[in-house]
Amino acid sequence: MEKQNILLHYEQSIQWVQKLETLSEEQWRTPIKEGKWSIAEIIGHLIPWDMFIIKDRMPYFFKDIDLPKGPDAQALNDQAASESRVRTKEETIERFADTRKTLLSALQEMNDDLWSKELIIGKSTLSLAAYFQGMVEHDNHHFEQIKNVI
């Protein structure tokens, strides 16, 4: 997946999530399956991951220094889910859109030739395009879960 497809995904993800404002409060807050998160928690957990990419990945991608260690995924997800349970639907969607727009803008500004450059994250080596393809797949996994219940 090249840069343009990744950018298109991020643009469309903002619009798609904004359409979730039409859900009832019950739809927004009911777990998608027993033992699973609600739509509120699913959307809410995407926000800190986008912030992590913006603040703790992008500034380091092409510098000759090790990337900062990623957060404890379970702790970050638990915290985000907890916050999403008390935030309004509108606030969660607005925060998602604002954060995603910041990420999208930063990606648009990146030089095209950087997309094929290799990154070393921990013990993995992958291109910037492959890194963001993984992020797109993560979004799509969750968006499919939501589509299946609405």
pTM of the model: 0.91
Q: Which CATH number do you get for residue 134?
A: 1.20.120.450
Which of the two residues, 73 and 1, has the higher pLDDT score?
73
Percentage above 90 pLDDT, the chain = 73
pLDDT digits (tens, 9 = 90+) for 79-89: 999 999 999 99
The DSSP code for 57 is T
Sequence-distant (≥ 6) Cβ neighbours of residue 118 within 8 angstroms: 125, 126, 127
For the stretch 2-43, pLDDT in tens is 899 999 999 999 999 999 999 999 999 999 999 999 999 999
Chain centroid to Cα 107, Å, comes to 13
What is the total count of domains within the chain? 1
Distance of CA 127 to the CA centre of its chain: 18
Assign residue 35 a region: left if phi > 0, alpha if psi is -120 to 50, beta otherwise? Answer: left
Do residues 76 and 48 touch, judged by C-beta distance below 8 A?
Answer: yes
CA dist 56 and 106 (Å) reads: 13
Cβ neighbours for 125, distance < 8 A, ≥ 6 positions apart: 118, 119
CA atoms within 13 A on the CB side of 146: 22
Query: Residue 69: what pLDDT?
Result: 79
Q: For residue 126, what is the enclosing H or E element?
A: strand 124-127
Task: Provide φ and ψ at 118, rounded to 5°.
Answer: -90, 140
**Domain ranges, residue 44:** 3-149
Average pLDDT over residues 95-108: 97
